[in-house]
Amino acid sequence: MRAQRVLFELGTCVALAMVPLGAALTGRAEQRRAERWSADERATLRSLSLASLEPLAPDPSNRYGDDPRAAALGEQLFFDTKLSGNGKVSCATCHVPDREFQDGTPLAHGVGTTARRTMPIAGTAHGAWFFWDGRTDSQWAQALGPLESAVEHGGTRTQYAHVVDAHYRAAYEAVFGPLPELDDLPAQAGPVADSAWRAAWVALPAARQGDVSRVYANLGKAIAAYERRLQFAPTRFDRYVDAELAGRPHDSTSTLTADEVSGLKLFVGKASCVNCHNGPRMTDDHFHNTAVPVSPLVAAVDSGRTVGVRQAVAGEFACTSRYSDATSEDDCAELRFATTEGEELVRAYKTPSLRGVADRAPYMHAGQLATLGDVIAHYDRAPESPMGHSELKPLELTEKERRQIEAFLRTLR
């Protein structure tokens, strides 16, 4: 009994002693946090956290974008190899779902080989421009490009309209209304590279071309409705930032190592990565010449945004086109105020998101750099651009700092 009381009193005593000790420890932890991140850095960290991502705004050029029936149809179309010239290629051939919707190769392989690296899809619906050079201004217009590319899906819009008629009529008509009469149309016809299919397209009356192109545009809108639902999941980095800013203790899912924290500090500081990789998607949605070397695998000259913006403005399926659902010029403001000429567009490519980047080697618009280490070394070295003017300046990072930045980038998954 006496022994129990002694133990109890001892326990109370220890517990009481723990209160100020605990408070002191909490205070010290807060102090360490304050020392680790300045007010400016904390604001930057907050801006990078996925918690700062605004809800996805409707796409005024695609009135079906948030229709679940359109998304269900779009998902089926995304995986359907019938939407190709050889019956073997679907969107998922290159945009592989369990590989972050990309394919891990320098250049994409559809019916043939493209001149660019497959881009991931998650979160891209928030962006204003699509493809590495931003040659379309909506996700639905983007989806249509590869379908008629001779090296990607390799088919034509009349072929795809026939596929809809034969396999998706009910699902299509539930969303978009009645299909036009298609029986009189050639199996293959479209404004594509193949001369016979192009001639068949040119021979069609303008009204019939319009009927087919409307079905084709709607395929893009359904695919975009599906792709809009592919969003980012929170990463260890997000959990770290959220706990850090809230003053919560870190658990095993939110802890960053000392090297990872140092890498993050470099990312938002000395290495200036955050200049372009900003916001919760870690992209400024803009185009930059970062002196990426010419790919030995690509024969054609690639001038990036210089050509991309012209294609966007003149796009058959642009926001301002007859196939768009935009109702005012404000709906197409990005296109309306796009920079269309100048040295800065030469060999400028879109800043990609860094979320999940460690699982997406090789890097750059034609997979020119094999590893994350190569990418960081490239930005550190800041070589001359093979064309146009590079925005890079040497960073003068140490080997350890380069390793720390890489360690941080690996927390973005």
Partner 1 sequence: MRSSISPSTRVTSYLLAAAVVAASLLSGCMMMAKAPSDLDYSRTRTSRSHRYVATIRPDGDSIPKGKLQRWTLHLETTSGVPVDSATIAVDGGMPQHGHGLPTKPRVTRALGHGDHLVEGMKFNMGGWWVVKFRVASAQGADSVVFNLSL
Report the interface residues with partner 1, using CB under 8 A.
Answer: 44, 47, 269-272, 274-276, 278-279, 284-286, 333-334, 336-340, 342, 344, 391, 393, 395-396
- Residue 248 vs 336, nearer CB to partner 1: 336
Residue 87 φ/ψ region, left for φ over 0, alpha for ψ in the -120 to 50 degree band, beta for the rest: left
- Residue 47 vs 255, nearer CB to partner 1: 47
Q: Which whole-number Å values give the CA distances from 172 to 169, 183, 223, 255, in the listed order?
A: 5, 17, 12, 48
- Residue 9 vs 396, nearer CB to partner 1: 396
- Residue 191 vs 279, nearer CB to partner 1: 279
Q: Which whole-number Å values give the CA distances from 320 to 96, 199, 331, 409, in the listed order?
A: 31, 27, 9, 38
Q: Are strands 349-350 and 287-288 parallel, antiparallel or unpaired?
A: antiparallel
Here the tokens at position 156 are 């034509």
CA 41, chain centre distance (Å) = 25
Q: How far is the CB of 396 from partner 1 (least distance, A)?
A: 6
- Residue 151 vs 307, nearer CB to partner 1: 307
Q: How far is the CB of 304 from partner 1 (least distance, A)?
A: 15
Rg value, the chain, Cα: 26
Q: How far is the CB of 333 from partner 1 (least distance, A)?
A: 5
Q: How far is the CB of 265 from partner 1 (least distance, A)?
A: 10
Instruction: Find out whether the peptide bond into 362 is cis, omega within 30 degrees of 0.
Output: yes
Using DSSP's 3-state secondary structure scheme, residue 399 falls into helix
Here the tokens at position 50 are 């996925």
Q: How far is the CB of 156 from partner 1 (least distance, A)?
A: 35
Q: How far is the CB of 278 from partner 1 (least distance, A)?
A: 6
Burial label, 358 (beta-carbon count in 10 A; 0-12, 13-18, 19+): middle
Q: How far is the CB of 292 from partner 1 (least distance, A)?
A: 17
Q: How far is the CB of 202 from partner 1 (least distance, A)?
A: 35
Locus of tokens 């803009």: 286
Rounded CA-CA distance 136/131 in Å is 7
CA 95, chain centre distance (Å) = 12
Burial label, 75 (beta-carbon count in 10 A; 0-12, 13-18, 19+): middle
How many other C-beta atoms are found inside a 10 Å radius of the C-beta of residue 136? 25
- Residue 125 vs 395, nearer CB to partner 1: 395
Q: Which whole-number Å values give the CA distances from 71 to 136, 194, 204, 247, 366, in the listed order?
A: 20, 31, 31, 40, 30
Here the tokens at position 207 are 């009204």
- Residue 270 vs 381, nearer CB to partner 1: 270
Task: Give the phi and the psi of residue 198 in degrees, each rounded to 5.
Answer: -65, -45
Q: Is residue 364 a contact partner of residue 302, using CB atoms and an 8 Å limit?
A: no
Q: How far is the CB of 355 from partner 1 (least distance, A)?
A: 16
- Residue 322 vs 336, nearer CB to partner 1: 336
- Residue 86 vs 339, nearer CB to partner 1: 339
- Residue 143 vs 318, nearer CB to partner 1: 318
Rounded CA-CA distance 84/62 in Å is 24
Q: How far is the CB of 262 from partner 1 (least distance, A)?
A: 12
